[in-house]
């Protein structure tokens, strides 16, 4: 999957944050990280789909390959 087909970055939307179906990708990832399941997330954000959730994960995976944070 090419996340670029599903993730939008627009300075006029969500202050320029990367969004999937109008929801910041960080919000989707935060919900997944806290242990919420896909059905729970989609219930809270009806604009999302299972594909949208997978897109956010794919986007995050690519970011971690391209950018490594130093561990202290």
Q: Is the residue at 30 inside a domain?
A: yes
- Domain total for the chain? 1
- What separation in angstroms does the CA of 53 have from each of 4, 44, 68, 71? 14, 13, 23, 28
Summarize pLDDT for 13-71 with one digit per residue, the tens.
888 899 999 999 999 999 999 999 999 999 999 999 999 999 999 999 888 887 766 77
Q: Is the residue at 71 inside a domain?
A: no
Q: Is the residue at 26 inside a domain?
A: yes
Query: What CATH number does the domain containing 42 carry?
Result: 1.10.10.10
The whole-angstrom separation of Cα 8 and Cα 57 is 14
Q: 13-49 b/e with 16+ CB inside 10 Å = b? A: ebeeebbbbebbbebbbebbeeeeebeebbeebeebe
Domain span holding position 51: 3-64
Q: Is the residue at 72 inside a domain?
A: no
Q: Is the residue at 38 inside a domain?
A: yes
CB 20 within 8 A of CB 2: no
Q: Is the residue at 41 inside a domain?
A: yes
* Residue 69: per-residue pLDDT: 66
């Amino acid at each position: 999957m090419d996340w670029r087909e599903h993730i939008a970055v627009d300075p006029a939307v969500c202050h320029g944050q990367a969004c999937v179906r109008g929801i910041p990708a960080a919000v989707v990832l935060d919900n997944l990280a806290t242990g919420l399941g896909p059905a729970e997330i989609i219930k809270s954000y009806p604009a999302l789909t299972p594909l949208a959730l997978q897109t956010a994960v794919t986007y995050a995976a690519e970011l971690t390959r391209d950018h490594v944070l130093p561990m202290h």
